[in-house]
Amino acid sequence: MRRRPGALVPPVNMEQGRRLQLISRTAKDPVRLRRAIVVMMSAQGQLVPDMTSSIQVSADYLRDVIHAFNERGSRH
């Protein structure tokens, strides 16, 4: 099985890491919290199949979150 390109988040910079940690500690919106966790896990090198079992979401959802971060993450 081949991985789709961009299914990993590149290493995050300090500012992005702090923001993701802040979101993971303070988010009241469960979707926002889940997205931050997905990005952090991916930035740490965890692959989509491993994450699906850890956080109980579909591979398509994970890829969508990862692709969205890769496209817009550096601007937010």
pTM of full prediction above 0.75: yes
**Which pLDDT band, with edges at 50, 70 and 90, does 15 fall under?**
very high
Could you tell me the residue ranges of all domains in the chain?
14-75
Q: Looking at residue 61, what is its pLDDT?
A: 94
Helices (H), ranges, the chain: 14-26, 30-43, 48-55, 59-72
**16-39 pLDDT tens trace:** 999 999 999 999 999 999 999 999
**Which pLDDT band, with edges at 50, 70 and 90, does 8 fall under?**
confident
Closest CA to 66 of 44, 33, 38: 38
Percent of all residues in the chain with a pLDDT value above 90, rounded to a whole number:
54
Residue 59 has pLDDT above 60, yes or no: yes
